[in-house]
Amino acid sequence: SQTIHQWPATLVQPVGSPLSLECTVEGTSNPNLYWYRQAAGRGLQLLFYSVGIGQISSEVPQNLSASRPQDRQFILSSKKLLLSDSGFYLCAWSPGHGTEQFFGPGTRLTVL
């Protein structure tokens, strides 16, 4: 069966510090991978998606970037965090487009 991991689970960082969140998927190959942010108010906003190694598409201009160095690894980064980057970051995978997505446990980021 497939499993998706995210770490860390929680993170408190000062403004201006760098960020690296990691997501890995087990039990599947060549998944589509997604990063979402969920701010207060519950809506999920798609940040990045990837259909293969090194292939990243950005949905919204922002202070964040994503990379996919391996087939089942997806990384969300920032060089300098802003207060507005606080939120709940969710990684998801799907076996292909037009199919359901499965979410990881999330990382709660607080920028102070």
List residues near other proteins by CB under 8 A: 6, 32, 34, 41-44, 46, 49, 51, 57, 59, 88, 90, 94, 96-106, 108
The distance between the two most distant Cα atoms of the chain, rounded to a whole number of Å, is 39
Q: Give 46 or 65: the residue with its C-beta nearer to other proteins.
A: 46
- Residues sharing a CB contact under 8 Å with residue 3, sequence separation 6 or more, in sequence order: 25, 26, 27
Q: How far is the CB of 80 from other proteins (least distance, A)?
A: 27
Dihedral sign of CA atoms 44, 110, 112, 41 in order: positive
* Residue among 12 and 15 whose Cβ is closer to other proteins: 12
**Smallest gap, in angstroms, from Cβ of residue 67 to other proteins?**
17
